[in-house]
Amino acid sequence: QVQLVESGGGLVQAGGSLRLSCAASGRTYSNYCMGWFRQAPGKEREFVAAISWSGSSTSYTDSVKGRFAIARDNAKNTMSLQMNSLDPEDTAVYYCAAARKAICRSYLSEYDYWGQGTQVTVSS
């Protein structure tokens, strides 16, 4: 069992930056790949970024490439999403997720555990 708790959301101006964190607990956490998803009102939850269990491999949805950076610190059982050059289109509830596999992909169904979400609002 893995428990995930996001933090770091808030209100930021367009062009600004925000860093989200995900605190994880669980015996096999270091062997889980992890990802970030987001969900805007009226839209389905969408993939943002993922990182392998070792942290050696990352992937991003096209809209955030070059702006967002995912990282993890297995020693501290944390994962982060550094978000730069934020745009109002980035406004959403951001969710931390984990999967019982080495490498995560973009499919919602592949993830086994989810955090409660943290709101990110980007003003224009």
pLDDT digits (tens, 9 = 90+) for 28-46: 656 889 999 999 999 999 9
The confidence score (pLDDT) of residue 1 equals: 79
Percent of the chain with pLDDT over 70: 97
In angstroms, the CA 93 to CA 58 distance is 21
Question: Which residue is associated with the tokens 């499919």?
Answer: 107
